[in-house]
Structure 1
């Protein structure tokens, strides 16, 4: 069970990891700085790191008692840093190696949810533009084309017709394997999970055709409604689905599960984020605030989760 800690000295020396080498590096630096400052304000003995590959095998992290990983994307969110921290014996909040790797792979996580009976939009994993054209015709337009294993909407396109599919495939393929996903026409909702509980839903009204990188991190016109303006019954269903999706992946401590409503108003699972952003535009702090937990308290809670008895 997690402990309620009041003395910051109990945490010892804490390393906040940020930066990395993924396309989400800049967002990671922002998240890391915000978490570092929040913990520092509360008297935690904390140090902020901009991590590069060589740092994981060097001695920069020696002498620390625990870590808070804010390295979004490949390297930081896919199990690699989690493995390094476990080898070093440094407790950290968030999904472990296996769950991080599974959640980062949108294709495998969607297959897992489908097999578990959890609703997710139709999808395909084409290996070439020709296969993509065939798959898109079967799924139907509009369609999302995205990298299998990147976050923050990096490399994602919404494609309305076959003439634009090849370019969208090439854009996504820059980052690795490609996923095609059916378009769900309703509202976009997200449910944060913290210490086994589902937080209030956030409804996203993006600035643009969909919630892309610009709408997430650069625009001031994207609207966030929290608690989301949906009825109590649907809220409960989505929260229960989020917890089920979280458990199916084997995640722990905290994360965020993203949904779209389809044309019938039914929730569809999009993806799970086991290392959500902690910037001024981020959704987990917003949901926590709606539940009565400010940013400092949220960061403190993440540290408390590292004190869990792993036995």
Structure 2
């Protein structure tokens, strides 16, 4: 399957000027971000782009003050020292330096899974029922209201950090204890039993395009941190749906991405209910992984783009 993307808008690498590849940072996803950043840096340099690695926000501030970069390829993951919560986007806006990915609003909103769900629900977009948990809330009562099984996770982390699947009341306290190690509120979400899928989104000019969907089939029970970044046993089926279902999930991904105020590129994650076949939105990633195990590069290959072309196209969104 291929996606009918227009050709790249630029052919001369000099048009990008000096590019800072922002990676690493001090967030919980530092290791993944460094791995992603190394891949992006190699791809840009292979295309003749003048790119340098910048590790974390203080190093970016130094580069901006010294005018060492003309634009930023942001592959910094997560929040609080990461690059997906809107803070670093505000910094780059203040210096009037263009960057890849979503701006302040889309980044901040998408980092908060609870408020993203509130926006989607207000627009009638499908997402699993949830409870917002503050410190001291009765998690057992919340689970009874939603109905077990449930997912418990930090509302502002990525890469499956702090996430637990809970199938009985006895497992709730340990799940909450794990999720509470991370900043922010907790999200309890009805567990949709079925297939996990994801759709990459890429802007070309003013238009958004959905890349082929991917169905994720981990060897274990679910797609946890190990299955995402460490295991070679996870199976990726691309496209993950077929016919009308593939068109449906692509269109839903674009609607969800735009509704969250996102731009440039990203990834929208779904569950597909095994019984009904219905798609349910989980979250938007505004700086998805770009490692050897990552999903957007896999979908791009299915659409006929290698890593170098994908990174070039993402960088074009910062022109």
TM-score by length of 1: 0.95
Contact (CA 8 Å) 2:198, 2:269: kept in 1 or not? yes
Asked whether 1:250 is paired with 2:257, we answer: no
Does the C-alpha gap of structure 1 residues 2 and 276 become closer, same or farther in structure 2, counting only changes over 3 Å? same
Q: Distance in 2 between matches of 1:147 and 1:206?
A: 22
Q: Distance in 2 between matches of 1:54 and 1:227?
A: 40
Q: Distance in 2 between matches of 1:18 and 1:181?
A: 30
Unaligned ranges ≥5, structure 1: none
Asked whether 1:7 is paired with 2:12, we answer: yes
Q: Cα deviations across residues 245-292 of structure 1 (Å, max 9, x unaligned)? A: 011011111111001012311000011111100000000011111011
The equivalent residue for 2:3 is: none
Q: Distance in 2 between matches of 1:232 and 1:127?
A: 42
Asked whether 1:200 is paired with 2:200, we answer: no
Please list every run of at least 4 consecutive aligned residues from structure 1 whose deviation after the TM superposition is greater than 2 angstroms: 53-63
Counterpart mapping for 1:71-110 below 5 A: 71-74=76-79, 75-110=82-117
Number of residue pairs matched by the alignment: 305
The equivalent residue for 1:18 is: 23
Q: Distance in 2 between matches of 1:216 and 1:292?
A: 23
Contact (CA 8 Å) 1:201, 1:287: kept in 2 or not? yes
Asked whether 1:55 is paired with 2:59, we answer: yes
The equivalent residue for 1:43 is: 48
Q: Cα deviations across residues 78-117 of structure 1 (Å, max 9, x unaligned)? A: 0111111111221111100111000000000001101100
TM-score by length of 2: 0.92
Unaligned ranges ≥5, structure 2: 1-5
Asked whether 1:171 is paired with 2:178, we answer: yes
Contact (CA 8 Å) 2:8, 2:313: kept in 1 or not? no
Does the C-alpha gap of structure 1 residues 2 and 93 become closer, same or farther in structure 2, counting only changes over 3 Å? farther
Q: Distance in 1 between matches of 2:137 and 2:102?
A: 36
Deviation at 1:2, TM superposition (A): 10
> Which SS does the other structure have where 1:252 is aligned?
coil
Deviation at 1:141, TM superposition (A): 1.3
